[in-house]
Structure 1
């Protein structure tokens, strides 16, 4: 008997299986039939969700970026502390990615610098609205008065981190500390 799954559940299952196979065999050596075999489904099912292996990989990148941005957004939306306190005490962009998933291993491996940068840009894109909302809330509460344009400040704070994050000549801890000090200095 054939088992039908909800569309979003099936899509996620395909993405997760693809990432396992990409990790095990490498992106170049992986085919849609390898992914279908891993899932125990027909190739046509995968093509129903993704038109190509490239589209599948891009879907996985989008998915992972969304998960990372949501994790960071949760910390930003926590209303128990001020935005400045959150910046000073919250793990940085670097640390939130510190997991052991296939997604992390593929998107953050040393030979995937371009993929890591693309992932970082997608996370930043999704994170800006969360930071904009947090700045706006701080303004409403009277805790942040020197900001005229919350979206521009949020974009600068989020995208501005990438220049430091992409540097290879300083450690992750140094990157996190530099970012934290700078952003906290801007949010007064």
Structure 2
């Protein structure tokens, strides 16, 4: 029996299934047929929404990067907080989400380092304008004294990634290290 679903629902189902199969079998070893089989549909259905496995993967990365970045952007856009208030909210968000992300299993496998770096770059591109704007606002409010907000934004975002992705330390240790560094840079 054929089950008809709304296009956006079906597209998300294909993406979620693909990421699950990628995590289990690996990206290279997974075919569109494998994804369709996991969904109990014909592979033509997957090709109806995505021209190729690569396009499917790139769409998944873009959607996932937006999803992961949204809470950070929401915090950076809030008004009326002190610098310390922003840092506390960002830390709280990180503590509640670290390691619990939707596609964490795929992106954090040792053999998927390149995929993880690709995701990072997309996320950083999404967050960057919001970080620059945030720093400009903090500067106007007299919370920070920096000349080149764009360079500081890049340094903060790109510089914290090795700490965030260090699986050898706890989430609390990550937060502590980043907190100390941020406060030194921004004070």
CA change 1:162–1:24 in 2 (3 A) is closer
Structure 2 CA distance, aligned partners of 1:150 and 1:173?
28
Structure 2 CA distance, aligned partners of 1:120 and 1:13?
23
Cα offset, 1:169, TM superposition = 6.6
Aligned runs of 1:25-174 on 2, under 5 Å? 25-88=25-88, 90-91=90-91, 95=95, 96-99=97-100, 101=102, 103-140=103-140, 142-165=141-164, 172-174=171-173
Cα offset, 1:66, TM superposition = 1.6
Report how many residues are paired. 185
SS, match of residue 79 in structure 2:
coil
Structure 2 CA distance, aligned partners of 1:118 and 1:144?
33
* TM-score normalised according to structure 2 size: 0.79
SS, match of residue 142 in structure 2:
coil
- Deviations 1:17-69, CA, capped at 9 Å, x for gaps: 11122233333332211212333443233223322222222322222222111
Structure 1 CA distance, aligned partners of 2:60 and 2:88?
31
Q: Relative CO higher for 1 or 2, CA cutoff 8 Å, sep ≥ 6? A: 1
The Cα RMSD (Å) is 2.9
Structure 2 CA distance, aligned partners of 1:82 and 1:160?
22
Structure 2 CA distance, aligned partners of 1:131 and 1:93?
16
Structure 2 CA distance, aligned partners of 1:172 and 1:68?
17
Structure 2 CA distance, aligned partners of 1:107 and 1:92?
22
Structure 2 CA distance, aligned partners of 1:126 and 1:182?
22
- Deviations 1:118-160, CA, capped at 9 Å, x for gaps: 22222222111221222222234x2335233333321221112
Aligned runs of 1:177-188 on 2, under 5 Å? 177-188=176-187
Match of 1:13 in 2: 13
